[in-house]
Amino acid sequence: MKRILLVLAIALAAGLCAFALMRSHRHADAPPGTLLESMPELVWLQKELDLSDSQFKKVSTLHAAYLPECTAMCERIAEAHERLDTVSYGEMQVTPELKTAIADHARIHAECQERMLEHLYETARILDADQAERYLEVMLPYALDFSHSEPEDVHVR
């Protein structure tokens, strides 16, 4: 019985190792040390727009330079959200502090939106006309994101 259990354990371990190995191999989808390995999100850009090596190199450099900025913006937005959230539950009226938090939140949102759009246009300028059109067609809705400000049919009488 011990031998049978040992065989079962080895078979299970072999299956798990094979799964993990194949999954990590497929996930990387790029040779080690390459740009795609360090920034796998660029796989979509490369495949979708069929970038040349030169375009891919330029786009990757731009992307890498933008990433720390984007992280910083993400933190600023999160802080502004949190501040607005905290202040809005404090009192039952629009206090000067709440007014400041609302203004800060709107300003930070606008600044980050502007910077994201700037990055998208910078990337588009590296591409040829068709690629740029396709890229902006897909990406602009994410940067514009009217989901929080569009009236939709809330005020329809």
Partner 1 sequence: MNDSELDKILLSAGNELPLPPDFGRQVWRRIESSSAASPGLASWFEKVLSPLAKPAVAAAAILTMTALGLGLGAGLKPRQEDWKEAYVESVSPFGSPHSR
Stretch of 70-78, 82-90, 98-106, 149-157 lying at the interface with partner 1 (CB under 8 A)? 70-78
Q: Is 16 in the site for partner 1 (CB under 8 A)?
A: yes
Give the residue, chosen from 34, 37, 43, 65, that forms a contact with partner 1 under the rule CB under 8 A. 43
- Applying CB under 8 A, which of residues 51, 80, 101, 112 lies at the interface with partner 1? 112
116 binds partner 1 (CB under 8 A): yes
Nearest to 47 by CA among 58, 37, 38, 36: 36
Q: Does 51 bind partner 1 (CB under 8 A)?
A: no
Residue of 31, 32, 33, 41 interacting with partner 1 (CB under 8 A): 41
- Residue positions counted in the chain: 157
Binding segment (CB under 8 A) for partner 1, from list 3-11, 82-90, 95-103, 124-132:
3-11
